[in-house]
Amino acid sequence: MPALGCCVDASVSPPLGYAFSWDSSLPAPELFSSGVPPATNAAAVTTGSHWSTDLSSALYRVDGWGAPYFSVNSSGNISVRPHGTDTLPHQEIDLLKVVKKASDPKNLGGLGLQMPLVVRFPDVLKNRLETLQSAFDMAVNSQGYEAHYQGVYPVKCNQDRFVVEDIVKFGSPYRFGLEAGSKPELLLAMNCLSKGSADALLVCNGFKDIEYISLALVARKLLLNTVIVLEQEEELDLVIDISRKMAVRPVIGLRAKLRTKHSGHFGSTSGEKGKFGLTTTQILRVVKKLDESGMLDCLQLLHFHIGSQIPTTELLADGVGEATQIYSELVRLGAGMKFIDIGGGLGIDYDGSKSSNSDVSVGYGIEEYASAVVQAVLYVCDRKGVKHPVICSESGRAIVSHHSILIFEAVSASTTHVSTQPSSGGLQSLVETLNEDARADYRNLSAAAVRGEYDTCLLYSDQLKQRCVEQFKDGSLDIEQLAAVDSICDCVSKAIGVADPVRTYHVNLSVFTSIPDFWGFSQLFPIVPIHRLDEKPTMRGILSDLTCDSDGKVDKFIGGESSLPLHEIGSNAGGDGGRYYLGMFLGGAYEEALGGLHNLFGGPSVVRVLQSDSPHSFAVTRSVPGPSCADVLRAMQFEPELMFETLKHRAEEFLEQGEGEGEGEDKGLAFASLTSSLAQSFHNMPYLVSSSSCCFTAEASASASASANANNGGYYYYSEDNAADCATEEDEIWSY
């Protein structure tokens, strides 16, 4: 019986076809007459040996989704252009340098932060807000619109204190306001707008009770420009009653359910059967009740929402036109209308395709969006003879998505090496243990190989493997024999060219915590290596996170891809010590707020980075380590201090029972070392730490952990004897 194995060198493609090596007692088989089987789409990223940063930019579509804020620089790293198209060459920021500054230990000049890491660029946030304002100003001026635009940021997109405060500060010259959808969001909006423009709107959306409405009226008393938007008809009675008791004249808005909607995932909350808003019948009842209460002048704002990620300006104009008809009717009925709030919907091009037929792209830019809105409102108002209203929008996704980048590390990757082939004698012994059906499959496989019929080879290879698995389950094959069969079948697949070349890259991340929208409904984000882009990526991979959950992976990518072009891990070509960093872009909206604590992995570390005139063009103005194990335990109602005392007592009992080594002073040192290690475990972050870059290894436990570290690629859980070195002052600035 021939000893089947692969004779194809994995590094050199055969010129004519594929062949198998056989027992020397048999004649060598002919090469496959049909030539090389078609290569799979993941067999190679591209042909040719030449590679450039331009090719990487095209491969990852950086110029599509990244413009004007992200590009690939001459060093092969992702470059951030914090001022968009106004960024000067010397102002561009090398993202890898930011990551190294944040993650390098302090004794090497870094900040000692642990991965994963969110990098925020307030300059990008400012540019996004100014770009939106400029687009509407241009549309207003060019079309002769007789009112103005003033935006409102919906804080649900990202409630981080510094994000909201930045928006209020950057938007103050433009009367930019905030939108709240809950009581805590209302409180933070009240606090932040106390330092903003007096004309900025505070729009109160969401379902409301007595407390919510009372708080909104308190905001009105504090001279904040507060508008209570009715989501349900029943809320009106509460507004009328509480406002009279508090002696506050409210400003009221209402949310209309439009007939216009789009059919994508993000349009599910719009239309007549949407979650929010009032029908035309309900609107008329609200108008009547306000009139009877002498408060019709309080109704000043109409709000609607077609849905997020509006795909085309045609759909947008249709919805805005319908809403403006309702606005005009409210004016006719005597309401004191001043504002039309078009809600959210300004989309983000996540994949760079500029497509109007996708949930992850849109077929327009900000200027086209603003022009379509102004034109639609202008057209209806002029036909109806209605004074032009102030136009508001709640474009949260479009404002905050670009400014935040999630950085994480790929710590290892699965291999695609085929196991060593059994010897001729070993193979003969293996075949003798197979049942008759399996031996028949093996004989047919050998004959098909001689004839060069690789499709038939695959058929019998699969059948052989399955029959052997059944024998293993029955106990008639041992694990070594099963492994030998697996090796033979894998070799066949590799020789024929159908072996799966897609690797699994293990990343130091929780998908559930940091990319919850991907897990929840397969929302795609651009994911790109942030360095080594001057090298050709020779692998393709999917990303598997740290959680003990089969859903903890990213296996869909922009461009309709089921794998991502990646580089070999461990190469030091980029001068980064062999570490391999990936970035998820355009995730500044929703991801941080929606992330959970699955497997008790908390949020990432965060740095805030401003463009500066320092040698490397940036300054880190804030640095926050991610939540520790104690922090995430507290979130689950545990008390880490009591937990530590319990374990400390357990350690003391352990040593008293004589289980520990040594006596007297030695036991005291052992107890101190053990309890110190336990205490530090509560202060550590849940994620992995690289021994190649971290100052967090406790010397007392170095020898005990050496063998463990050798088996996991140099990664271990953060165990540091100088944890204070990782803490950073909130307002300290490091220029780099």
Catalytic residues: 548
Torsions phi, psi of 101, nearest 5?
Answer: -60, -40
Q: What is the largest CA-CA distance in the chain?
A: 105
Rounded-to-integer distance, Cα 192 and Cα 213, Å: 19
Three-class DSSP category at 312: coil
Contact present, 327 and 386 (Cβ < 8 Å):
yes
Token code pair at residue 597 = 């604590």
Rounded-to-integer distance, Cα 211 and Cα 217, Å: 10
Task: Identify which of 591, 610, 175, 87 has the alpha carbon closest to the alpha carbon of residue 348.
Answer: 591
H-run or E-run covering 71? strand 70-72
Counting other chains too, the contacts that 264-270 makes at CB distance below 8 Å and 24 or more residues apart are 264/307, 264/309, 264/311, 264/359, 265/359, 265/521, 266/307, 266/308, 266/309, 266/359, 267/306, 267/307, 268/307, 269/305, 269/307, 270/305, 270/306, 270/307
3-state secondary structure 442-498: HHHHHHHHHHCCHHHHHHHHHHHHHHHHHHHHHCCCCHHHHHHHHHHHHHHHHHHCC
Task: Identify which of 405, 487, 719, 692 has the alpha carbon closest to the alpha carbon of residue 569.
Answer: 692
Q: Which residues pair with 557 in a beta bridge?
A: 561
Orientation angle between helical segments 454-474 and 479-496, nearest 10 degrees: 170
Token code pair at residue 83 = 């001022």
* Cα radius of gyration rounded to whole Å, the chain: 32
Rounded-to-integer distance, Cα 251 and Cα 298, Å: 5
Give Cβ neighbours of residue 19 (< 8 Å, ≥ 6 apart).
7, 8, 28, 29, 31, 32, 495
Task: Identify which of 200, 180, 176 has the alpha carbon closest to the alpha carbon of residue 189.
Answer: 180
Rounded-to-integer distance, Cα 640 and Cα 632, Å: 10
Helix, strand, coil fractions of the chain, as percent rounded to 5: 40, 15, 40
Three-class DSSP category at 618: strand
Residue written as token pair 């450039």: 52
Rounded-to-integer distance, Cα 717 and Cα 108, Å: 21
